[in-house]
Amino acid sequence: MIIAQKISKYFGKVEALKDISFEIGQGEIVGFLGKNGAGKTTLMRILTSYLTPNAGRAFIAGKDVTQKGVAVRRHIGYLPETPSLYPYMTVREYLKFAAQLKDIPVRHIGRSIAKVLDDCRLSYVQNTLIAHLSKGYQQRIGIAQAIIHDPAVLILDEPTNGLDPTQIQQVRKLIKDIEHQRTVLLSTHNLFEIEKIARRILIINRGQLIKDQSLESLLKEEGATGLEEVFLKLNPPQVERSDD
């Protein structure tokens, strides 16, 4: 469902991505890891056709993201790190607006809203202003807008950012509930959550893909008991130099 072929991206003289290649099959949930500035968000924006690569190609559901951007977006649900919500709309109003933007036929909009309200546990607050809801509810609204058009591919950038443990557990269950229904690429700094959700791991470092394998084989290969241990081994903290 997702194919990246030797993708490179430059911002001026800075090489944000270098020859990134991988394939993700239908129904896979894949964890995408890297330090801040490693290139994760840049790659996600390329896959969702919001950025154009300087080299290489990417395909979603067989469609070239550069040449068929509009068609690609019909197959993708995207949750950016900070969802673009409208605080003075109610949840239902916002989801109706999202459905219209995503070209859901008018006769199907009510059914689509009802489904995501149920799937994302939002029915109880559907007539509440978004501004009056907690961060956890707002993240669920972000996921609801991402899946309202029933996309084949779901790309999530920090879906549990800023949530408390109960809210994180709710979002984790929501993602797990769609396993095998959709292909999911999930980026987060919460490595414990990745271990709970994903079965395959991609790790990027300084714009290069350094690991692409199952969670089980990665832990075994690195002789680690958890993903945090692997991540720190592959991305050791930099020692700050003293001027003394």
- Report DSSP letters for 115-176, one per residue: HHHHHTT-GGGTTSBGGGS-HHHHHHHHHHHHHTT--SEEEEESTTTT--HHHHHHHHHHHH
Distance separating alpha carbons of residues 243 and 57, to the nearest angstrom:
45
Q: Coil, helix or strand for 211? A: strand
- pLDDT tens sequence across 140-169: 899 899 999 999 899 998 888 777 788 788
Six-digit token string for 238? 């930099």
Distance separating alpha carbons of residues 49 and 166, to the nearest angstrom:
33
Specify the range with the lowest mean pLDDT, choosing from 52-56, 72-76, 111-115, 210-214: 72-76
Share of the chain above pLDDT 90, in %: 54
Whether the per-residue pLDDT at 95 is higher than 90: the answer is: yes
Please give the mean pLDDT across all residues of the chain: 89
Domain 2-75+153-234 part of CATH 3.40.50.300: yes
β-pairing, 76-79 vs 153-157, is parallel
Q: What does the pLDDT average to over 60-82?
A: 87
How far, CA to CA in Å, does 149 sit from each of 20, 45, 105, 160, 214? 29, 19, 10, 22, 29
Six-digit token string for 125? 């607050």
Whether the per-residue pLDDT at 196 is higher than 70: the answer is: yes
Whether the per-residue pLDDT at 240 is higher than 80: the answer is: no
Distance separating alpha carbons of residues 145 and 148, to the nearest angstrom:
5
pLDDT confidence band for 242 (50 / 70 / 90): very low
**Predicted TM-score (pTM) of this structure:** 0.86
